[in-house]
Amino acid sequence: MSDPLQMHPDRLLPAEPATRNLARQLYQAIKDLPIISPHGHTDAQWFASNDSFTDATALFITPDHYVFRMLYSQGITLEQLGIGSQEGAAAAADPREIWRLFSENYTLFQGTPSRLWLDHVFAEVFGMQVRLDGNSSDTYFDTINAKLSSDEFRPRALFERFNIELLATTESPLDALEHHASIIDSDWQGRVITTYRPDPVVDPDYDGFKDNLIEFGQLTGEDTSSWRGYLNAHRTRREYFKRHGATATDHGHPTAGTENLDAQQAEKLFQRVIAGDHSPSDAEQFRGQMLTEMAAMSLDDDLVMQLHPGSYRNHNQSLYERFGRDKGADIPRQTEYVQALKPLLDKYGNEPGLSIILFTLDETAYSRELAPLAGHYPSLLLGPAWWFHDSPEGMRRFRQQTTETAGFYNTAGFNDDTRAFLSIPARHDVARRIDCGYLAELVTEHRLTETEAAEIAVDLTNNLARKAYRL
């Protein structure tokens, strides 16, 4: 027999009873506010085509690197999980058997946010009443698949059921945005917008960078072998993204490094880079210079910049060679911001029209660098706890280490940052609960009044994201 599955109404709220009461009141008042998801990685095609999702395994396991990295860490191979290698020989595993392997190892996720998100989806979206384990595996698989094939579980229906006000996806400059166009042209009212993520044409180390630049030129009619033409291509494409709803750009760099080269130096660097004749430090410098160029363009077109630095991508070399990118082997590294951002900030840091949202995978920067920077520069805001730190503990650390110096109003609300569409309500719910718990603690310590806390809770849930992302 499997254990009962129950999402307790007080989950994640502080244990101390008076504080929990306060937190519960704060949470009750904001729990039904719409979801604003200004940064994430869902697939616009889902909402364009509105086709049903395939099955439980394809929905929950194969695409979720949080899930399969944990299974992999305990000796389960990617082949066993049906994750295809690049060598062509597609994994032939049976979805039901993969689901069983996951179910039997579900205890590995105890104490992790994945377990919170998954249980929430299982209970609230699919109505499951027992815990996932080996015994309940088949019931889960059959129940989920049956529901997925119904109209109520098509992407647009779920979007509406989830009360999503806005959902941003992230696309390469080379993306035609046909799905966004199709959504705009449809009679469906859901707001699914794109985000300009230029890494494939900005990072000299990106797979196929050289070919990407050629395609970038073809798409925009610019000569992307010249520095001027290359920059114009960005301007053109940013405008195209804006017409498909974009209000922001996103930059996923190894470091937070920026540069402030003069036009001649930049041109020479660009020529080395496109010739493939560049050193690792040239590549780093080029990425850094492009952040400053993007800031300049943002001053013209009002797109908000997001900077996501600090991940060592594809750390597991043999896995990368066999299975490609995004296989759960991205590992955070120490990230320096104070020196790194100075060239960009020297040039544009005081511009009232510029808005840069900073993220980190290095939590030591919260109190030491990020809150002091955002608590001074008018152009800087802090994005929420990100990726590995998008957990109850990580969210608490974020508030406890940034509020003292940056306050609440130099932060940008919550991001779910996910490709797991069904987990979006679960993720926002966790953030709302943690924020309400934090605010309740400030009230219990007599640092805020209840009235103030209630107002801040609404701001953290909706208003800060709307303002930061210019929605």
In the complex with its own copies, which residue's Cβ is closer, 75 or 88?
Answer: 75
User: Shortest distance, CB of residue 111 to its own copies, whole angstroms?
Assistant: 4
In the complex with its own copies, which residue's Cβ is closer, 115 or 419?
Answer: 115
Q: State the burial class of residue 21 (Cβ atoms within 10 Å of its Cβ: 0-12, 13-18, 19+).
A: middle
User: Shortest distance, CB of residue 324 to its own copies, whole angstroms?
Assistant: 15
Q: Are 126 and 147 in contact (CB under 8 A)?
A: yes
In the complex with its own copies, which residue's Cβ is closer, 155 or 288?
Answer: 288
Q: Which residues contact 335 (CB under 8 A, 6 or more apart)?
A: 255, 256, 309, 310, 360, 361, 362, 365
Question: What spatial distance separates the first Cα and last Cα of the chain, rounded to whole Å?
Answer: 48
Q: State the Cα–Cα distance between residues 471 and 463, nearest whole angstrom.
A: 10
Q: Are 294 and 354 in contact (CB under 8 A)?
A: no
Q: State the Cα–Cα distance between residues 436 and 26, nearest whole angstrom.
A: 6
Q: Which stretch of DSSP H or E encloses residue 251? A: strand 248-251
Q: How far is CA 461 from CA 154, 160, 260, 434, in A?
A: 26, 18, 36, 11
Q: State the Cα–Cα distance between residues 311 and 309, nearest whole angstrom.
A: 6
In the complex with its own copies, which residue's Cβ is closer, 218 or 334?
Answer: 334
User: Shortest distance, CB of residue 350 to its own copies, whole angstroms?
Assistant: 6
Nearest Cα residue to 298 out of 228, 244, 251, 229: 251
User: Shortest distance, CB of residue 93 to its own copies, whole angstroms?
Assistant: 18
In the complex with its own copies, which residue's Cβ is closer, 212 or 292?
Answer: 292
DSSP-derived letter for residue 411 is B
In the complex with its own copies, which residue's Cβ is closer, 230 or 377?
Answer: 377
In the complex with its own copies, which residue's Cβ is closer, 229 or 332?
Answer: 332
Q: Are 250 and 306 in contact (CB under 8 A)?
A: yes
CA 158-162-164 angle, 5° bins: 105
Q: State the Cα–Cα distance between residues 157 and 173, nearest whole angstrom.
A: 29
Outline where DSSP puts E strands in 338-442.
Answer: 356-358, 380-382
User: Shortest distance, CB of residue 333 to its own copies, whole angstroms?
Assistant: 5
User: Shortest distance, CB of residue 136 to its own copies, whole angstroms?
Assistant: 15
In the complex with its own copies, which residue's Cβ is closer, 22 or 183?
Answer: 22
In the complex with its own copies, which residue's Cβ is closer, 111 or 127?
Answer: 111
One-letter amino acid at 262 equals D
